[in-house]
Copies of this chain bind each other. A is one copy, B any other.
Amino acid sequence: MAKNLKPSMKKIALETGVAESTVCRILNGQSKLYAEETCKRVMEAAARLKYRPNILVKGILSGKTRTAGVMIPPTATFMSKIIHGIHDELLAANYAMFLSWNDKEIASSDDDTELRIIHQLVDRRVDGIILRPTNDLVSGMYFNEIWERKLPLILVDRDIPEVSTDFIGTDDNASGVYIASKFIELEHHNICTFGVGITVNSFRERVNGFESTLSKDPAIRYTRIVENDLATAEEKLRNMIKQKDHPTAIFCMNDYYAVSAYRIIKEAGLRIPDDVSVFGFADIEHAELMSPPLTTMRQFPYEIGKQAAQLFLKKIESDATLPPVKLRIKPEPVFRQSLSKCNKK
């Protein structure tokens, strides 16, 4: 009977006795060209067969799939919110989103996950890619696969400095400056940073802004604890905090490290903020529930996602090669109870 199994224009054409091109034009809104009677028959058949266009074909023909490849792990709320922003913006523009990621922290040379994912995306002819670099040592290797194909690439949250790509994230440097100024304003003179992963650009920027501000005041004693792994960092902080002249103010590279710092400070029998002030970064949910509630910087992940997707769409829909955009959204301090004026000496 019906030769073709799946609904297609050909099948509609066969059933209605018109040419495929007729079906095509009617279904694509050029019905005014045709006799009302023909249109009706075609539309009716399409509805009856539950016809849906095959976008894969359009993709082949036009080279545009209205699809974005997104490589961001939804492992923390912060990241999920970025994805959320991207998603909403893409959906509004009727784009679909592939989501995939490699959540392994360490870049073992035999792990080709990133490459496999990029190939999955390229082979499906996504129009571009939005990704959050894991750290700047690894990711670079795979970027070639993207650039070689001249696919728009938008980085979020973490920039890769050596490379001129579009980037949407937080103004980390300014944040570091802000927090340092705050510590100075509160008369702290013995200060340290605490965190893991200096190969992550956002952390580096925070530290840079922070240190450059502190260094203006020669009376300040400063120690940087940003190690390659948490255990080492914790060990260092534990040792410092035991000393009589321990730091009175700690800038934690993010709120998770602040949780860790809290524990170390409390174990040493010190109080927050009376003995040690703590400033976090990111404003994760339980920052508010910590005791005392953590003072931290609130970022705008949903907004970052939205902006990233908007830029993505702009890049795609203008054929011209636009110069790379770097957008750093200013975070907002959230003052709670982990910060006070220096009580010491």
A residues in contact (CB < 8 Å) with B: 6, 50, 52-57, 59-60, 63, 65, 67, 73-75, 77, 80, 83-84, 87, 91, 94, 96-101, 113, 116-117, 119-125, 148-149, 285-286, 289-290
Among candidates B65, B74, B91, B119, residue contacting A56 with C-beta atoms closer than 8 Å:
B65
Among candidates B52, B53, B63, B290, residue contacting A289 with C-beta atoms closer than 8 Å:
B290
Contacts A74-B80, A74-B84, A96-B121 known; list 12 others, CB within 8 Å: A52-B149, A54-B60, A56-B56, A56-B59, A56-B60, A87-B99, A87-B100, A87-B101, A96-B100, A98-B98, A98-B99, A289-B289
Among candidates B55, B289, B290, residue contacting A123 with C-beta atoms closer than 8 Å:
B55
Is A149 a contact partner of B50 (Cβ separation < 8 A)?
Answer: yes
Instruction: Kindly provide the distance from the CB of A257 to the nearest chain B CB, expressed in whole angstroms.
Output: 16
Return the 7 tightest CB-CB contacts between A and B, nearest first.
Answer: A99-B99, A74-B74, A55-B123, A74-B80, A56-B56, A289-B289, A286-B286
List 20 contacting pairs A-B, 8 Å CB cutoff, sorted by A: A6-B63, A52-B122, A52-B123, A53-B123, A54-B60, A74-B74, A83-B99, A87-B100, A87-B101, A91-B100, A91-B116, A91-B117, A94-B120, A96-B98, A96-B120, A96-B121, A97-B100, A99-B99, A285-B286, A286-B286
Given A74-B74, A84-B74, A120-B96, A91 contacting B63 (CB threshold 8 A): no
Is B57 a contact partner of A60 (Cβ separation < 8 A)?
Answer: yes
Instruction: Kindly provide the distance from the CB of A14 to the nearest chain B CB, expressed in whole angstroms.
Output: 19
Instruction: Kindly provide the distance from the CB of A80 to the nearest chain B CB, expressed in whole angstroms.
Output: 4
Report the nearest B residue to A6, measured CB to CB. B63
Is B74 a contact partner of A83 (Cβ separation < 8 A)?
Answer: yes
Instruction: Kindly provide the distance from the CB of A291 to the nearest chain B CB, expressed in whole angstroms.
Output: 8
Is A54 a contact partner of B91 (Cβ separation < 8 A)?
Answer: no
Is A80 a contact partner of B75 (Cβ separation < 8 A)?
Answer: yes
Cα(A313)–Cα(B224), bound, Å = 49
Instruction: Kindly provide the distance from the CB of A66 to the nearest chain B CB, expressed in whole angstroms.
Output: 9
Among candidates B54, B77, B121, B149, residue contacting A77 with C-beta atoms closer than 8 Å:
B77
Is A91 a contact partner of B113 (Cβ separation < 8 A)?
Answer: yes
Given A80-B75, A99-B97, A100-B97, A123 contacting B54 (CB threshold 8 A): yes
Report the nearest B residue to A7, measured CB to CB. B149
Cα(A6)–Cα(B123), bound, Å = 13
Enumerate chain B residues within 8 angstroms of A100, measured Cβ to Cβ: 87, 91, 96-97
Report the nearest B residue to A103, measured CB to CB. B84
